[in-house]
Amino acid sequence: MIRPRILLVDDEDRFRKTLKKRISSRDYEVFDAANGIQALEMIRDDPMDVVVLDVRMPGLSGLETLTEIKNISPETEVIMLTGHASVDPAIEGMKLGAFDYLMKPCDLEDLMVKIQNAFEAKSSKKG
């Protein structure tokens, strides 16, 4: 069985590390990055199946990172996370090619469903 490769990108260390631990316990291969630049370097070296990407980060924003991810690895599905009670950036992300979005704090089960749906969508593109 193929273990989906998930990349978590968020500048909030505690949130990212906790989420990584919880998703890893469900038989996913999980990586994490603290910012968009680090995430893009990781994806260039080793493409991911699904990226869970915070919208608001210092430096390269989530929307800028999303655009670059789609340039580097168009097959990678991206789920946007927004924590500022505004869906506008998430909707903008959907227009730029994001698979879906969630508001922070998000329910783990909701996130897992979206990750699995994104992985299946990516897998179906391969044919």
> Per-residue pLDDT tens for 10-56?
999 999 999 999 999 998 999 999 999 999 999 999 999 999 999 98
Q: Do residues 50 and 39 touch, judged by C-beta distance below 8 A?
A: no
Amino acid at 44: R
- CA 110, 116, 122, 127 torsion: positive or negative? negative
Maximum CA extent, the chain: 38
Residue 121 token pair: 């969508």
Residue 53's DSSP bridge partners are 9, 80
- Predicted model pTM: 0.94
**What tens digit of pLDDT does each residue of 109-118 get?**
999 999 999 9
Helix (H) or strand (E) holding 16: helix 13-24
The per-residue pLDDT for range 43-98, each reduced to its tens digit, is 999 999 999 999 989 999 999 999 999 999 999 999 999 876 678 888 899 999 99
Contact 5, 32 (CB under 8 A): no
Q: Which two tokens stand for residue 81?
A: 């996370």
Spatial distance between the Cα atoms of 41 and 90, rounded to a whole number of angstroms: 23
Task: Kindly state the tokens that stand for 77.
Answer: 């599905």
* pLDDT for position 126: 66
